[in-house]
Structures are given as C-alpha cells and as structure tokens.
Chain A
Amino acid sequence: MAAAVFFGCTFIAFGPAAALFLFTISRDPLRVIFLIAGAFFWLVSLLLASLVWFVTVQMSNKESSSQQKALLIFGVVLSVLLQELFRFAYYKLLKKANAGLLAISQEDTMPISVRQLAYVSGLGFGFMSGAFSVVNILSDSVGPGTVGIHGDSQHYFISSAFMTLAIILLHMFWGVVFFEACENQRWWSVGAVVFSHLLVSCLTFVNPQYEGSLIPTYLVLCVMAGWAFSCAGGSLRNLKLCLTCKDKDFLLANHRPR
C-alpha cells in the first residue's frame, strides 16, 4: 500500500487541478492572489457551517446514531448552501474591487476580466474543498494498514481520490457558470448551479455504493463542463479551430505561425 497508493491518489485527486494552476495561474501573481482569496472564502463558509453543526450536535442526543446522521446530513446541506452564498459574496466583492482597481489605476482596461476571475475563484474554491476533503485521507494512506478490514469498502482511497477530482473540477465549472449568470442576471442559472451542487453532495450519501455516487457525479461533471465552456464563449466552431491550430485570434495573440 503506502507510497504507491499515496502518490496514485494524490495525482488522481490533484493532478488536473495542479496542471491548470501551473499553466494558467502561476505566472500571474494577481490571479494567484484571487485564487487564495477564493480559497479563503470557501474556508469561511465551511467554518460557519461547522459552527452551526457543532452547536446543534451539542444540543442533541449524542447517543442516538440516527440523530447524529440526520444532523450530519443537515450539516452537509447547510454547508453547500453557505458555500454558494459565499461564492455570491465573493462575486460581489470582486465587482466592487474591480471597480476600485479601475478607478485608481492608470490604465483603461481592467487587469483581469470577470471571466478570468470566475475561473480563478472557482478553482480556488475547488482547491480548498478538495484539500480539506482528501488531505487527511492521503496522509493516512502513507502509513501501514489494511483498507476495509472491518468490513468497509476496500476502495475507500481510490474512490475518495476520484470524488475529489470531480469536486475540484466541478467547483471550477460552477464558478464560471455562476459568475456568468450573475453578470447577466440569469437567476435560474444560479439556481441550477446551487441545485447541481446539492445534487452532487447528496449523491455521496449513498456511499459506499460508489456506483450510485461516482457515476452520476461524473455525468454532472460532463454537463457542467459543456455548460461552462459555452458560458466562457466557447463553441463547436472555436473548438474545432483551436484543435486544428487554425484559430487566427489565438495564433495572433501568441505570435505563432500557422
């Protein structure tokens, strides 16, 4: 077990996100700052949710496990709603900050566009969410042990890794769609994002029946990916041009010959 599982699961969970970070965000310090701020907002939302959960647990009957489970489910739903609320709050803050930045800077254009902000903040939320979900599990996987020796599922580590990957990417897509929807005042889109987040979290209630949770989650991931792609301005035509290296705007911007 040990090192192989650890490295495997780490790369599964964080690989794509780390690649995204490395290639698109790490060069630009402004984006890094917004990423970390997004992570911070997610953290605050988690803090509030766990505060409420903690208070309710203290007030409840600690012996009854069904009550505890119900409280936990309540905690999950509350946390999801709070996360989306904080995403909205971050959006508002970014709009104000951008207006401020524009006012004091000498240039005419904003240093970072709303779409980039949406992507970066979504990824920030995703990183933090993924990290909190899986880091302890990863650090336990380094040590010796037998998975599922008490009758639990043997696929705990790998399913956690895949779930985390899905969640991180989903957060990024949700961020893009959410900000776009807020920009254009399309509140039903916002509702759809919240609903899909709730759906994904609630699907995990059927764990350890991983078919019930992982497969639908990945389906939602694909749908959200398509939606986010079109929100960000992509289309089949763009995609085709990009993949066959014939997109003139992209080539011009990067000074590459066709």
Chain B
Amino acid sequence: MVVVVATIKSVSFYTQKDGQQLIYTPFREDTETVGQRALNSILNATIMISVIVVMTLVLVLLYKYRCYKVIHAWLFFSSLLLLFFFSFIYLGEVFKTYNVAMDYFTLAVIIWNFGVVGMICIHWKGPLRLQQAYLIMISALMALVFIKYLPEWTAWLILAVISVYDLLAVLCPKGPLRILVETAQERNEPMFPGLIYSSTMVWLVGMADNGETRNNSSSSSSSPPPQQESHGDFALEDDGGFTNEWVGQQEQRLGPIQSTDESRREIQQMASARPPPPDDDEERGVKLGLGDFIFYSMLVGKASATASGDWNTTLACFVAILIGLCLTLLLLAIFKKALPALPISITFGLVFYFATDNLVRPFMDQLANHQFYI
C-alpha cells in the first residue's frame, strides 16, 4: 500500500485521465447528468464483475477437470506479462517524472534481470523475503493500473461489489471459491505456483508412513491478470491462481489461510485445523491472496489520488484496512476455515474514506487554520 501511495503522489502518469479506459468498462463517466453517470458506472461495474465471475467459473471448471497445464500456462503467462511489461511502463514513467536520462540498453538489462529473478522466485524457489517483495511489487503495479484506467465511480462501485461477491463466493455452499477449496481439499494436492502471499515459511513434517516430507509453503506466486496491450487499449484477462497447500498429512495443521476472490485474485485456502500429533513439527504462517493486496492497494491509492483531504484520508483508509485485516485474521483464528479477506477491510476502508473526506477534512482544515489542537 505504501508503494502505491508513494507512486500516486509522485508520478503523475497514474492520476492523469487521458481518456483511455479498459475495454471492460466501455461506458464513460464524463456525462452531463448525475443520473447518466450513475447508470454508466453501474453498467461498468456490472460488466467488470461478470467478467470476474466468468473467469472464476472457468478456473473452477479447469481445476475440476484437471486441466492443470492450462492453468499453469495461464499463470505463467500472466506473471510474465506483469513482471516485464508493466514494470517497463512503470519505470518509464518514474524516469519521466524525475527527469532521469536512461538508455535502452541499461533499461533492457535492468528489466530482464528484474523479470527473470521474479519469475524464478515466484514460480520456483527463492528466499522468502524476495518472494514477498516481488508479490508486493506486482500487486502494487496491478493496483496502479486499475487506479489509472478505471473511472471514479466505477472503481468505488467495483470495490463494494467485489467484497460482496467475495463474501458470497467463499461462504455460500455453491459458491465457486468454496467449490474450489473443497475440491482441492478432497484431492489433497500440492499447490500451483499460485498467488498467495505467505508470511512465514511453513515446514510440514509427515507422519510415519510417508516418511518425512517437507514443503515450503511459501511457494506462492502472484497472479494478477495478464494484460495484453494493443495500441493503448488494455484488454483484461482474468486469472486466478489457487494454491492448495497440504502436504499430505491430515494431522498437519497449517496456518489459517484466507480465501479471496478470483480472476484477479488468487484463492487461498486454509487447511482445516486439526490437532497436531505430538511429534509434529510445524510453524504456522498466515497466507493471504494477492488479489486482496491488489484491492487494498487500489483503495488506498484511489484515496490518495482523488481525495481532497489529501494525507488525512489516505492515513484513515490505511488504518481502516489494517484493522479490517486484523479483525479478519481474528475471525480466522476463531472459525478456522477459509474466509473472505475482502469484505471487512474494504467496508471499513470505504466507510472511512467517505467519512473522512466529507466530515473530518473540513473539521481538520478549520482546526489547522486557527492552529487549534485536539
């Protein structure tokens, strides 16, 4: 979130509205009447959400019918695009802002190294910190793209609707994410190079019959949707990654994981907690889907880009999202099953954004004017 805010504040590219929109949000918002604008934004949001839902269902179907190669290729391609292409654009804009001269050769070397190390870290093995750093950078890039290319009301509506969708998809018995979680649980399979951010390394030790198996559950990768650019028009493909991390044993207890939305997010799940056998040796970590990161960053980024209260609003949203996350983790510890990570945080974030921008900002401005302190 800090990366996104820093970028938004300094690089003006991401806040310029140069009229381009994603093809999934065809309706424009610069209309004459408020009613028209509201209608357009609702339509935009509907289209975007239905794209996400469709992609989620496609992913669930692919997983159910074991088309693993397709999913792997999809994830691989999307992370490739993100690591190379988007970071190229990002670097270009940063250089423009700070007026740094750069030749193509150096740039090529930098981007190549960055991209290749990223691919290795995410899809194969790598130090945990580096992997986390890459996942964070990718989420930030994705969030920046959204902030730039989604018109305003659409963005807020999408945030609101996506948290409702997340709630439904994870908790309803027929929800696609829930089906995904249960299928993965039944099959007891190792994860895809998925799209999960894990906070610690998890070492799992198997029970007697399988000998010892150790797994780094931190093999998560990011899976933002690949974006194919064609002449300035961005086509959005959704993909979702899904990591399932059980290494075999039933008695193992993984750290609670939360499930998030798909298409642009990864799903994560959490092994149901069962009491560990006495000679088990494990360390628990928390796993969070990258899609969650993307939407949190998008909210905070939008707050810093568009709020007139400037830093106060950004700070308020930041704290609200963090608290929402803490509450979600608390619920996770209590309920011990896959939970949607978006609803609580996004609700708090949205409430605090609008409240701070409209109520707190005038108050604080007046106070600062007279230099009163509370």
Contact = CB atoms under 8 A, between A and B. Distances in A.
Interface string A25-57: 000000001001101100100110111011001
A200 B310 CA distance: 27
B360 A40 contact: no
Contacts of B368: 133, 136-137
Contacts of B372: 72-73, 76, 201, 204-205, 207
A167 interface: yes
B374 A43 contact: no
B33 interface: no
A135 B320 CA distance: 18
Interface string B352-374: 10011011101110111011111
Interface residues of A, number: 44
A40 B323 contact: yes
Interface string B315-328: 11001101100100
B326 A135 contact: no
B371 A159 contact: yes
B13 interface: no
A163 interface: yes
Contacts of A46: 360, 363, 374
Contact of B362 (A49, A54, A137): A54
A250 interface: no
B349 to A, nearest CB: 12
A17 interface: no
Contact of B312 (A37, A51, A136, A163): A136
Interface string A143-180: 00000000000001001100110010000000000000
Interface string B69-94: 00000000000000000000000000
Contacts of A68: 366
Interface string A69-91: 10011011001100100000000
Nearest to B373: A204
Contacts of A47: 352, 355-356, 359-360
A45 to B, nearest CB: 10
Given A54-B363, A72-B366, A128-B319, A135 B373 contact: no
A132 interface: yes
A3 to B, nearest CB: 15
A222 interface: no
Interface string B297-316: 00000000000011110011
A68 B360 CA distance: 16
Contacts of A37: 323, 326
A51 B370 contact: no
Nearest to A55: B359
Contacts, number: 100
Given A128-B319, A132-B315, A50 B373 contact: no
A49 B363 contact: yes
A204 B371 contact: yes
Contacts of A139: 310-311
Nearest to A73: B372
A164 B310 CA distance: 19
Contacts of A76: 367, 372, 374
- B356, B364, B373 interface centre (most CB from chain A within 10 Å): B373
Contacts of B363: 46, 49-50, 53-54, 75
A182 interface: no
Contacts of B352: 43, 47
A131 interface: yes
Contacts of A201: 372-374
Nearest to B323: A40
Q: Which of B312, B352, B358, B371 has the most CB of A within 10 A?
A: B371
A79 B322 CA distance: 24
B319 A40 contact: yes
B374 A208 contact: no
A206 to B, nearest CB: 10
A152 to B, nearest CB: 9
Contacts of B310: 136, 139
Contact of B364 (A136, A163, A167): A136
Interface in A90-134: 128-129, 131-133
A132 B312 contact: yes
Interface of A: 33, 36-37, 39-40, 43, 46-47, 49-51, 53-54, 57, 68-69, 72-73, 75-76, 79-80, 83, 128-129, 131-133, 135-137, 139, 156, 159-160, 163-164, 167, 200-201, 204-205, 207-208
Can you list the 4 inter-chain pairs with the closest CB atoms, starting with the nearest? A50-B363, A207-B371, A135-B311, A79-B374
30 contacts: A33-B326, A37-B323, A40-B319, A40-B322, A40-B323, A43-B316, A43-B320, A43-B352, A46-B360, A47-B352, A47-B355, A47-B356, A49-B374, A54-B362, A54-B363, A57-B362, A68-B366, A73-B372, A75-B363, A76-B374, A128-B319, A132-B360, A133-B373, A136-B309, A136-B310, A136-B368, A164-B373, A201-B373, A204-B372, A205-B370
Given A136-B311, A205-B372, 5 more contacts: A76-B372, A76-B374, A132-B315, A136-B310, A160-B371
